[in-house]
Each structure stands twice: as C-alpha cells, then as structure tokens.
Amino acid sequence: MNTQILSEDLFSKIITKEASISLIGLGYVGMPIAVAFARKINVIGFDISEEKVNLYKKGIDPTKEVGNEVIKNTKVEFTSNVEDLKKAKFHIVAVPTPVNADHTPDLRPIQGASRTLGKNLTKGSIVVYESTVYPGVTEDICVPILEQESGLKCGIDFKVGYSPERINPGDTVHRLETIIKVVSGMDEESLDIIAKVYELVVDAGVYKAESIKVAEAAKVIENSQRDINIAFMNELSIIFNKMGIDTKSVLKAAGTKWNFLNFSPGLVGGHCIGVDPYYLTYKAEQLGYRSQIILSGRRINDDMGKYVVENLVKSLIKSNISVADAKVAILGFTFKEDCPDTRNTRVIDMVEELKEYGITPLITDPVADSEEAYHEYGLTFNSMEEVRNMDAVILAVAHNEFMKLTDEEISSWFNPLNQNKVLLDIKGVLDRKTYENNEYKYWRL
C-alpha cells in the first residue's frame, strides 16, 4: 500500500492559503476553533443549521463564546451548503456526541457528519475528529462511512486523525490557544501534518499521542475523572448534611493540605462530564466488563437534583409552609455559569422532581438561550422582577449577574408573611453566616 498519499506540500498550501480547512459543526466547540484558525488560514465553517449560519453571517454569536464583535470581523466563510466542503483538504469534525435516554452513546450526529463529509471528500484529504467518543469510533465507525459515501479508500485516498476538544464553554482563561492539544494520526505522515496545523493556533503546543485510540481514550477519561471526583464530593455532602456539618467548611479545611484535590459538590450537567463516562462504560460492557467506580459515581451525580428537592421539601415543612401550595423560584437554568447553553442541564431534574410534589417552579435565567430551553424542555422563563412573594428560592447557577445581588434584593424575593425564608444555595456562593439566622432557612450542598 502506498502510504504517502498526501501532497508533500499540503501544509505549505494551507499556510499560504492555497488550500482551505473546513470546520464541521459550529457550536460551542467548533465555532471558536474556526475563528482561531481563520486568523491564520482559510477556513470554511459548515453547519447543517441554516439559522445558526445566518446568525454568524450577520455577526451574531449565539454561543457567546467569542462575542459578536469577533464574529463580525472573522474571515471564516460560514456556510450550510455541503458542496462548499469540496473546497477544503483538511477537515475538522466537531459535532456533539450525546447519550440516549438509556445512557447509551448517541452516535447519530457524528455518523451524519461523516456521511455529509464523505459525499464531498476529495483525494488527498485529511479528516480529524474532535468529538468525544469511546476508543475505536473514529476508525471502526467513522472511516467506513467516509469510505462508503466517498468511494475513496482510507490510507490510499485520504487519511484520518483524532484530536479531542478541550474547550471549556464560558471559560475565558482555558481556551483553545492556552490548552495543550492532544493530536493523533493513523500514521506518521498524517500525525506530522495534523500536529503542524494545530500548532498554528495552539500557543500551549501539541502532544502527539501514540495512536488514535489512545487519544480517544485520553479524552474520555479526562471528564470521567472529574465526574468521579465530583461524585465523591456529592457523597460527602450527603454524609455531612446528616451530621449537621457544613461541607464547604470541611473542604476549605482539608484544602490546606498541598495534595488535596479542589473539587466541590454540585449538579453535573453539560455535554462532557455528565456524558463522557457513559461512552467509556458502554464500550467496557461490550467487552464484558461492568464498570463499578465510574457507574457508581454517575448514579450519585444523576440523583443530586432529587436530593436537593427532598431537602427543599424538608425545609418547607420545618418552616410550616404547605408543600403543595408552595411558590418556588429557581435562579439559573443553564448547565454552568455564564454560558447560555441549556442542553443537558441537570437543573431540569429539580424542575421535574418539584412537579412530583405538585410544584411548578418559576424559573429565571438572564443568560440562558430561552428559545433553546423552550425547544428542549417546553419551558418559558420568567423575569427577575417576577421573583416576588416566594416561599422558597433555589440559587442553582452562579451567573455573575446573580453574584452582584445585594442582601436586600435577595430578601425582597420572599413572602414577608412567612416565618422563614427558605433559601437553597446549590453552588455554595453565599455567606452562610449572613443567611443562617432566624429569618432564613438556609441550606447548601
């Protein structure tokens, strides 16, 4: 087999803008990558959503990852026309990889992207996947689709690689440019070119993984590790609450030791930490191994919404407030602070659990994508002004806007006729001593 199928000057053509790269999937991960590369080389930004592409063309950043001004000035060629992919020789696939209701991997987005790309793939191209997958997906699932749709042969007509995304949505410090980029290729030739391309934008440098499967595995365990550590914190929170000990105070004391890991209890949502572990355990079960630690952590984290509501109900009862008639407000609905994304938010678990008690909460979130929330969950948000005469308030997401609230503003949310103001601080961002007095029934993880 002739493995030298790539033009020796492919990288040269990319940096001289004779050849373009494409970015397939313009979401929270793909769009910042496209913008970063467009500062140096020609980039085709493709997404199947015409609505999203049109927003980008108008200079609007619906993800709020880089901002409207950057989008207005970027040289990315935004398109939803699949034919435009034929103009590129280096393709980066950055589509979501969610899970199904039964927690099995939902590979439809990455399979669909592979079919679309395959139909427009040309000889001498490189395809790099960034989507989080279990080891083997790139070579065993994506490559056959590319071959079938293109009529080309991997290793002869085109080559593949894998470089896991590490972008942290809403994080202004840990960005594509500042995080070491793991790269891999099917052989030395593809690995060399892939590494050189990413080095154009990643100031922190690249790490060349031994194989595509090693790179896939490295990504999927990064978030599994975080998930397990947060699950441990959540379990500690449950234990310490039973003991009447403040978990945050315990962690602050333990954190004075140099090697204590800085994790906190909380709801675990988003597209990575709450999803990636299931990709690894799914593959493990296919090989005959039933995960113990990983799935135990997942069970704890998945049950935290229910646990929070149980404690809310206990607080209402202790405050002599009727549970069935209780007016409850939830502040924050996104999966993390200062990020508009509501997909896979675990705040929805609290909403559903409250409904089991006959409570339909008022939800307010000044950051969230309200259209997305309505489409995903059928929910309509309320304004902050409507948070009045509440029996209980759950501060669920630590948006900067919420952090600026004064004690007087927080007090104004509650029904003045109640003996206690029931306040749940999920993120533990408020000063406990300020609120843990006769007026407040304050609780946090």
Banded pLDDT at 10 (limits 50, 70, 90): confident
In sequence order, what are the residues at sequence separation of 6 or more whose Cβ sits closer than 8 angstroms to the Cβ of residue 225? none
As a whole number, mean pLDDT of residues 333-354 equals 91
Domain boundary among 181, 210, 239: 210
The percent of residues in the chain predicted with pLDDT above 90, rounded, is 78
Same domain, yes or no, for 272 and 369?
yes
Residue 221 lies in a domain: no
As a whole number, mean pLDDT of residues 107-116 equals 97
Distance between CA atoms of residues 17 and 38, nearest Å: 10
Q: Is 272 a catalytic residue?
A: yes
Q: Which of 142, 154, 272, 339 is catalytic?
A: 272
Angle at the Cα of 386 from the Cα atoms of 361 and 63, rounded to 5 degrees:
75
Least confident residue range of 263-267, 334-338, 436-440: 436-440
The predicted-structure confidence for 281-310, as pLDDT tens digits, reads as follows 999 999 999 999 999 999 999 999 999 999
Distances (CA, A) of 422 to 313, 385, 401, 407, 413: 10, 19, 21, 14, 11
Token pair, residue 106, equals 């939902």
Distance between CA atoms of residues 431 and 331, nearest Å: 17
The pLDDT of residue 64? 79
Q: In this structure, are residues 65 and 28 in contact, taking their beta carbons and an 8 Å threshold?
A: yes
8 pLDDT more than 80: no
Domain boundary among 182, 210, 238: 210
Residue 47 lies in a domain: yes
Q: Domain count for the chain, please give it.
A: 2
176 pLDDT more than 80: no
Residue 161 lies in a domain: yes
3 pLDDT more than 50: no
7 pLDDT more than 60: no
Helix (H/G/I), strand (E/B), else coil: 269: coil
pTM score above 0.95: no
As a whole number, mean pLDDT of residues 367-374 equals 90
Residue 1 lies in a domain: no
Range of the domain at 104: 10-210
Residue 215 lies in a domain: no
Q: Which helix (H) or strand (E) holds 213?
A: helix 212-243
In sequence order, what are the residues at sequence separation of 6 or more whose Cβ sits closer than 8 angstroms to the Cβ of residue 302? 274, 346, 349
Q: Residue 308 belongs to a domain with what CATH number?
A: 3.40.50.720
CB atoms within 10 A of CB 92: 27
The percent of residues in the chain predicted with pLDDT above 70, rounded, is 96
Banded pLDDT at 239 (limits 50, 70, 90): very high
The predicted-structure confidence for 49-85, as pLDDT tens digits, reads as follows 999 999 999 999 988 788 899 999 999 999 999 999 9
Q: What is the chain's mean pLDDT, rounded? A: 92
Q: In this structure, are residues 199 and 206 in contact, taking their beta carbons and an 8 Å threshold?
A: yes
Same domain, yes or no, for 47 and 145?
yes
